[in-house]
Chains A and B, each alone.
Chain A
Amino acid sequence: MKYDNERISDISLFFLLSAAITEVGVLEMPRLFAESVGRDLWLVPLLMIPVLLLSLYLFCLLGKRFPDETVFEYGPRLLGRPLAQVLFAVLIAYWFLVTGRMMRDFADVVRLTLLSLTPAEVIIGSMLVSATYLVRKGLEPISRAATIIILITVPIGLGITMLTYIKTSPVMNMRPVLAHGPWKVLKEGVRGVGLVEQLSAFFVCFPFLSKPEKAWRTAAISVVITILLFANVTFSTLAVFGPVELVHVRLPALSAVQTVEQPFIFIESLSSFYVATWIAQMFITIAFMLWLIATGIQKWLGHRDHIGLATPALPIIYLISLSPANVAALDKLIRIQENCGVFIHLILPLILLIAVRRRRKPEQTNKQQGREDGDS
């Protein structure tokens, strides 16, 4: 009587994607945007939305064409085996890099706010091992855990962020809008699509959805809502700090929460509590990325299931996460990843779609001929 453990419904996809997209990088994104764009940093998440939707649309076109296959299965057919192997290696390497960067970022944030003296190895190790526990159970349990986490942490996070607006002047800090012209903001918005690394999961996701035709709508709503929440966080940091100070604060979202002072809040350092909710969402992100890596390798090499592949992936991620030497190197890594991300999320699906078109043309002419023959 077991229902299929590997197919998730559209609502589960919604929650899973929302939880997977929110990761610790968001806490420092306002600073990154402020460094490159200045006062108009709050526009960047909003401009990211159409680009992300475009990328999603491309993925969903691919998914509609091949609803029961992952890219590892239709890739060789579209691009030829050698090119496809290169593509797969790039993809898997990208996922490893992303996960390693996330773990490092995460460990840094935890050590900055919660535990200063604990070695990063322990923090990274405990998170990876716990995430692997969830990954081994399959995609459906990951989505269920994501649902519960989102239902609990998003209202709390939203409430806390709303509190930062009290006694600040967001509108004052926002103006003048686009004083330096829109181009910088647009450019940053397009590059921002590389920051949402989880979209590349759609290369692999479609066979696991019970309603692939609803995937576009669900994923679009999920992405829009999540990015709007980011925009809210970004806006609140702008309200509290202003663009000049924002550049100096390492984790603006957390420090903004720390300035909240209301009589009914009995927890002093609200930012630590806020970080705890982020840790929960980060857990799902890591679990999802691990699942992606394990499933990707499984489909690539043709194994029976993904379970045994999750644990061996851990040491690689661990080593990657410890490789940036210091915080400045980590910032550079984020920038590199952003650029890779743009390639993988926009250019790669385009390439694949073009390949689909090219292969479809001869098929279509055959079909038309067949229909004519059949009619007559």
Chain B
Amino acid sequence: MTSKGRWTLVFLFLSMFIFCGCWDRTEIDERAFVVGVAVDLAEATETNGSKPPSPQHFPFIEKEAGDTSLTYTHKQISYLMTVELAVLHALSAGPSDGNKEGTGDPSWVIGATAPTIQAASTAINLRVYRPLFFGHQQVLIIGEEAARENLRPILDFFTRHTRTKRKMRIAIAQGKASDILSIKPRLEALASVYLFRLFQSAPQHSLGLDADLNQAIVSLHSSGHAVISRVRRSLDGQEAYNGGAAVIKDWSLVGWLEDIETQGYLLAKGVSSSGRVSIPVATRPSALIEYVYHHCRTKTNARIEDGKLSFEIELCLEGFITEETAAADLTTEFIGWVEEALSEEITRRVHMALHKLQKTYGVDALELGRHLEISDPKLWERIKGDWPQLYPTVPIRIDTTARIRRTGSTK
């Protein structure tokens, strides 16, 4: 290797660093860590005008169908974006001497109003000198009104932005989302971390959802429908309640599912890993038996009989009895009876969920269309245009088998 060539290379290489300004370097303590974002609807006014709107202010332009006049009906929408920032010096215990507690509130909730999320975050930057860093964002809470309006522009920012994690949890708040972010939880320093853990633990009880952004976006892109977590704030402002679900149709919120309906939905979908069911004992209705299942296998089949389409969902659960207040003797027949009662109850819950999803909202959250596509692609090709109308009328049959494996330490 000639030395002249070698030194040319070295010079070229080093010159890049002499002229460089370390463009990307932002020290970790110079960032404003955004751990949670809440988006509410600040304003949505409709205006009529004869001039086409400038793109600056009006993100939505609706033209009436068949309208050849130059009248534009547009909605002006702006969002209130509230972020929770982690205040670093209040989070640490300080250097190793003594018990210096973090001084001050570790979380700072601050918001701004603007037509887009990006504009809002810039507006927040006018008050926070550190650049907002979304890389550790845990949750995205969307207010009820904003969700009823349209989810698409809100989610676009978070999916396009490179540093945001697709694993962040997304939920619709009943009421205002900024209320949820400003709770003061006891278990964690930051509300968003508390909410994240709350959502993460949802699979334990299956009464709420653990939906992350990726799941929501995949579902929304493929059909426009999704089922997302629903979150409410407690009265004293110290807790949030993750129970039930929010049903999204065509990118906007149409309704809620209650706790039990959510459990039915998760069971039908086959993603419920554990939960509890309680049934009253037949002979003594005030006594209850608690059953906890830890395993659920679901099979969904599409059936075509005599030109009629129907679906069949088979559930098979396994679990154990954790508590029973009937002082009953757990013999084989009794357990058999309990299993049957459980199966009925679970079927009822699934029916409740399906009724709401299918008939009330018309949202194919179980992806029955996909099952049909898989089993009979040609039929699907023919009817997929009519599926939104067809779906609410299709009969769905549920068949549950619940098994009790163990009854705990006492008999």
Contacts and interface: CB of A to CB of B under 8 A. Distances in A.
**A contacting B, Cβ–Cβ less than 8 Å:** yes
Interface of A: 112-113, 115-119, 122, 125-126, 129-130, 132-133, 136-137, 172, 175-176, 179, 240-242, 244-245, 248, 255, 258-259, 261, 268-269, 307-308, 311
Given A126-B13, A176-B374, A259 B212 contact: yes
B162 A116 contact: yes
Given A175-B374, A176-B374, A245 B217 contact: yes
B38 to A, nearest CB: 22
Interface of B: 1-2, 5-6, 8-9, 12-13, 16, 20, 23-24, 135-136, 159, 162, 165-167, 212, 214, 217-218, 221-222, 370, 373-374, 377, 381
Contact of A244 (B1, B5, B162, B221): B221
Contact of A311 (B5, B16, B165, B222): B5
A133 B214 contact: no
Nearest to B215: A259
Ranked nearest first, the 8 interchain pairs of A and B with the lowest CB-CB distance are A117-B23, A244-B222, A179-B377, A175-B374, A176-B377, A245-B218, A115-B24, A245-B221
A132 B9 contact: yes
B248 to A, nearest CB: 16
Nearest to B214: A259
Nearest to A128: B12
B166 A308 contact: no
Contacts of B166: 255, 258-259
24 contacts: A112-B162, A117-B24, A118-B24, A122-B20, A125-B12, A125-B16, A126-B16, A129-B12, A129-B16, A133-B9, A133-B13, A136-B9, A175-B374, A176-B373, A176-B377, A179-B373, A179-B377, A244-B218, A245-B221, A248-B159, A268-B135, A269-B135, A269-B165, A307-B5
Given A241-B214, A241-B218, 16 more contacts: A113-B162, A117-B24, A122-B20, A129-B9, A136-B1, A136-B5, A175-B374, A176-B377, A179-B377, A244-B222, A258-B167, A259-B167, A268-B135, A268-B136, A307-B5, A311-B5
A130 B13 contact: yes
Contacts of A119: 23
B344 to A, nearest CB: 29
B6 A136 contact: yes
Contacts of B136: 268
B25 to A, nearest CB: 9
The majority secondary structure among interface residues of chain B is helix
A311 B1 CA distance: 12
A242 B222 contact: yes
Contacts of B13: 126, 129-130, 133
Given A126-B13, A130-B13, A176-B373, A307 B2 contact: yes
Contacts of A269: 135, 165
A258 B9 contact: no
A170 to B, nearest CB: 13
Nearest to A244: B222
A325 to B, nearest CB: 20
A308 B4 CA distance: 10
Contacts of A311: 5, 8-9
B217 A115 contact: no
A261 B215 CA distance: 13
A116 B24 contact: yes
A308 B381 CA distance: 61
Nearest to B212: A259
A172 B217 contact: no
A113 B381 CA distance: 39
A308 B135 CA distance: 45
B218 A242 contact: yes
Nearest to B222: A244
Contacts of B370: 172
B373 A240 contact: no
A202 to B, nearest CB: 26
Nearest to A314: B12
A117 B159 CA distance: 20
A137 B5 CA distance: 12
Contacts of B167: 258-259, 261
Nearest to A310: B5
A283 B214 CA distance: 31
Nearest to B218: A245
Nearest to A114: B24
B206 to A, nearest CB: 16
Which interface residue of B2, B9, B20 has the most chain A CB atoms within 10 A?
Answer: B9
Contacts of B222: 242, 244-245
Given A116-B162, A255-B166, A259-B167, A248 B23 contact: no
A307 B4 CA distance: 12
A217 to B, nearest CB: 33
Contacts of A136: 1, 5-6, 9
Contacts of A179: 373, 377, 381
Contact of B16 (A122, A245, A261): A122
A173 to B, nearest CB: 9
A248 B222 CA distance: 11
Contacts of A245: 217-218, 221-222
Contacts of B135: 268-269
A269 B9 CA distance: 34
A242 B2 CA distance: 53
A245 to B, nearest CB: 5
B2 A308 contact: yes
A269 B166 CA distance: 10
Contacts of A129: 9, 12-13, 16
Given A179-B377, A259-B214, A308 B5 contact: yes
A211 B352 CA distance: 71
Contacts of A255: 166
Nearest to B4: A308
B19 to A, nearest CB: 8
Nearest to B270: A169
Contact of B214 (A122, A137, A176, A240): A240
B165 A258 contact: yes
A242 B136 CA distance: 26
Contacts of B374: 172, 175-176
Nearest to A240: B214
Nearest to B136: A268
Nearest to B373: A176
A133 B7 CA distance: 10
A241 B212 CA distance: 13
A118 B377 contact: no
Nearest to A123: B16
Given A130-B13, A258-B166, A115 B8 contact: no
A12 to B, nearest CB: 20
A376 to B, nearest CB: 59
B23 A118 contact: yes
A62 B214 CA distance: 50
